[in-house]
C-alpha cells in the first residue's frame, strides 16, 4: 500500500495545482463589474435562467444579494472539501499502478534463527528445538518461530526414516521400494507448529497483504506439508496440492521481495521434481496447474544454493541429488564437500562423498 507520507504529498500537490482553479470558481461567482446593463442581463439570464432586472442602483452592475453570497460561500466550501478527496482518490489510484517493487519489503532474518537452523542441519535437533522455543517466547507474534520449529521436526523425521539418504533419490526404483513409518507424536507436534504459524501469518497478511516475512512463513509451511505428505506418508496427490499452494505464496513473496532467494527453492522443487516425471504424466500435471520445467527448476535451486539464507544448505543437498542422477560426480562432490565442511557433525554428507569415490 501507498504509505501515509505519499498520500499527504499528493494532497499537498493537488492543493497547489488546483488552488488557482478554486479561485477561478469563486471569481465566477463574484460581481461581474461594470459590463453594461445589456451584457449583464444576458450573462445573468444565461447562468440563472432568469431575466436581469435593472434598477436605479444596479444599472450596469449585477446585484449580489443574500442568495449570491450564499452560492459563493457554498462553492468555496465544496471546493475546499472536494480537492482533498480528489487527492486521496488520486493517491490510491496512483498506488494501484505502482509496481510492487516500489512497495518492497524484505524477509527478516535473525541470528537466533540462524543458530537454530544450523543445529538442525547438523542433526542436533533437541538443541534446535530449544533455540526455536526461546525465539517463540521472545517473539510470540512472529510466524517464523513455529514454522522453524516445524522444520526441525520434519528434518528429524527425514533423518529417522532414511529420507535424507541421497541414494534413495538417485533412481525411481530406490524411492518406490523405500518404506517409511511415520511417528504419530512427531506428526502431532509438527502439525501444531504449522497451524500456529499459519494463524500468525494469516493475521499479519489480513492487515498487511504484502508482508514479506508472513508470506515466507506461508511458503515454508505449505512446502513442509508437501514434503511430509509426499516423502513420509506417500500421499502424492496431497503433496502436489500443498506444493501448488506453497509455490503460489513463493511467487507472491518474490513480487514483494525479489531478493528472497529462499523462495526460489519452493518454485524450483516443483519444477524439478515434476519435471522428472514421464511425458504423459507431465502433461497431466500441467493440465492440473503444475510447473514441470526441469531446467528452470534447477536454475531456481541454483539461486537458492548461491544466495539463499535458511534454505541454502537444503538447496545444495537437492542439487547434489540432481547431479548424482545426471551422473555428474564432479558437481556432486563439490556440493557435498561444501556441506560437509559447514556441518561437520552431520555424517551423511561425508558418507555420500565416500560413496562417490
CATH of the domain at 142: 1.25.40.10
Which of 66, 98, 130 is the C-terminal boundary of a domain?
Answer: 98
Give the pLDDT band of residue 293 (cuts 50, 70, 90). low
Cβ atoms of residues 116 and 132 within 8 Å: yes
Which of 46, 72, 98 is the C-terminal boundary of a domain?
Answer: 98
> Do 126 and 68 belong together in one domain?
no
> Do 220 and 315 belong together in one domain?
yes
> Do 117 and 86 belong together in one domain?
no
Task: Please report the pLDDT score of residue 270 as a whole number.
Answer: 65
- In whole angstroms, what separates CA 149 from the centre of its chain? 21
Return all residues near 20 (Cβ < 8 A) that are at least 6 apart: none
Cα distances from 89 to residues 8, 82, 251, 282, 327, in angstroms, run 12, 11, 29, 47, 60
Query: What confidence tens digit (pLDDT) does each residue in 234-282 have?
Result: 898 898 899 899 999 999 999 999 999 999 998 877 665 665 565 666 5
Which of 70, 98, 126 is the C-terminal boundary of a domain?
Answer: 98
Question: Could you list the residue range(s) of the whole structural domain that residue 92 is in?
Answer: 4-98
Extended strands (E) in the chain: none
> Do 84 and 180 belong together in one domain?
no
Closest by CA position to 62, among listed 28, 108, 106, 94: 28
Query: What confidence tens digit (pLDDT) does each residue in 74-131 have?
Result: 544 444 444 444 443 433 333 333 444 434 478 888 999 999 999 999 999 999 999 9
**Is residue 309 a part of any domain in this protein?**
yes
**Is residue 244 a part of any domain in this protein?**
yes
Q: What sign does the CA torsion over 269, 305, 131, 140 have? A: negative
Share of the chain above pLDDT 70, in %: 62
Cα separation of 286 and 8, whole Å?
A: 47
**Is residue 105 a part of any domain in this protein?**
no
> Do 74 and 127 belong together in one domain?
no
Cβ atoms of residues 141 and 205 within 8 Å: no
**Is residue 36 a part of any domain in this protein?**
yes
> Do 15 and 50 belong together in one domain?
yes
**Is residue 316 a part of any domain in this protein?**
yes
> Do 256 and 124 belong together in one domain?
yes
Q: How many domains does the chain have?
A: 2
> Do 52 and 198 belong together in one domain?
no
**Is residue 104 a part of any domain in this protein?**
no
Return all residues near 71 (Cβ < 8 A) that are at least 6 apart: 29
Task: Please report the pLDDT score of residue 245 as a whole number.
Answer: 94
Does this model's pTM top 0.75? My answer is: no
* Cell triple for 346: 552431520
> Do 123 and 92 belong together in one domain?
no
Cα separation of 247 and 276, whole Å?
A: 18
Cα separation of 310 and 113, whole Å?
A: 8
Give the pLDDT band of residue 217 (cuts 50, 70, 90). very high
Cβ atoms of residues 165 and 348 within 8 Å: yes
Maximal CA-CA distance, the chain:
116
DSSP run (H or E) holding 43: helix 37-48
> Do 11 and 116 belong together in one domain?
no
> Do 75 and 215 belong together in one domain?
no
**Is residue 175 a part of any domain in this protein?**
yes
Cα separation of 309 and 260, whole Å?
A: 9
> Do 94 and 116 belong together in one domain?
no
Amino acid at each position: 500500500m501507498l504509505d501515509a507520507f505519499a498520500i499527504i504529498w499528493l494532497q499537498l500537490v493537488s492543493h497547489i495545482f488546483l488552488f488557482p482553479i478554486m479561485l477561478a470558481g469563486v471569481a465566477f461567482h463574484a460581481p461581474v463589474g461594470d459590463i453594461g446593463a445589456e451584457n449583464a442581463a444576458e450573462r445573468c439570464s444565461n447562468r440563472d435562467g432568469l431575466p436581469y432586472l435593472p434598477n436605479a442602483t444596479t444599472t450596469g452592475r449585477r446585484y449580489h444579494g443574500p442568495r449570491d453570497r450564499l452560492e459563493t460561500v457554498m462553492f468555496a466550501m465544496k471546493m475546499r472539501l472536494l480537492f482533498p478527496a480528489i487527492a486521496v482518490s488520486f493517491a490510491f489510484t496512483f498506488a494501484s499502478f505502482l509496481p510492487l517493487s516500489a512497495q518492497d519489503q524484505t524477509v527478516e532474518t535473525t541470528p537466533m534463527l540462524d543458530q537454530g537452523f544450523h543445529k538442525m542441519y547438523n542433526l542436533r535437533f533437541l538443541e534446535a528445538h530449544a533455540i526455536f522455543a526461546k525465539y517463540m517466547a521472545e517473539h510470540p507474534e512472529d510466524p517464523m518461530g513455529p514454522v522453524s520449529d516445524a522444520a526441525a521436526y520434519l528434518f528429524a523425521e527425514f533423518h529417522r526414516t532414511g529420507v535424507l539418504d541421497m541414494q534413495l533419490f538417485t533412481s525411481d526404483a530406490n524411492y518406490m521400494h523405500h518404506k517409511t513409518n511415520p511417528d504419530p507424536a512427531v506428526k502431532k507436534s509438527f502439525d501444531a507448529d504449522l497451524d500456529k504459524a499459519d494463524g500468525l501469518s494469516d493475521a499479519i497478511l489480513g492487515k498487511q497483504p504484502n508482508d514479506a516475512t508472513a508470506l515466507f512463513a506461508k511458503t515454508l509451511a505449505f512446502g513442509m506439508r508437501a514434503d511430509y505428505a509426499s516423502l513420509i506418508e506417500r500421499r502424492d496427490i496431497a503433496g502436489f496440492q500443498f506444493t501448488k499452494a506453497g509455490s503460489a505464496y513463493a511467487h507472491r513473496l518474490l513480487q514483494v521481495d525479489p531478493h528472497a532467494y529462499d523462495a526460489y527453492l519452493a518454485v524450483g522443487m516443483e519444477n524439478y521434481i515434476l519435471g522428472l516425471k514421464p511425458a504423459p504424466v507431465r502433461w497431466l500435471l500441467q493440465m492440473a496447474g503444475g510447473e514441470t520445467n526441469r531446467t528452470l527448476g534447477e536454475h531456481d535451486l541454483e539461486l537458492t544454493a548461491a544466495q539463499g539464507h535458511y534454505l541454502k544448505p537444503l538447496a545444495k543437498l537437492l542439487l547434489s541429488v540432481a547431479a548424482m542422477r545426471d551422473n555428474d560426480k564432479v558437481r556432486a562432490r563439490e556440493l557435498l564437500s561444501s556441506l560437509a565442511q559447514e556441518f561437520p557433525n552431520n555424517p551423511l554428507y561425508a558418507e555420500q562423498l565416500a560413496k562417490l569415490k
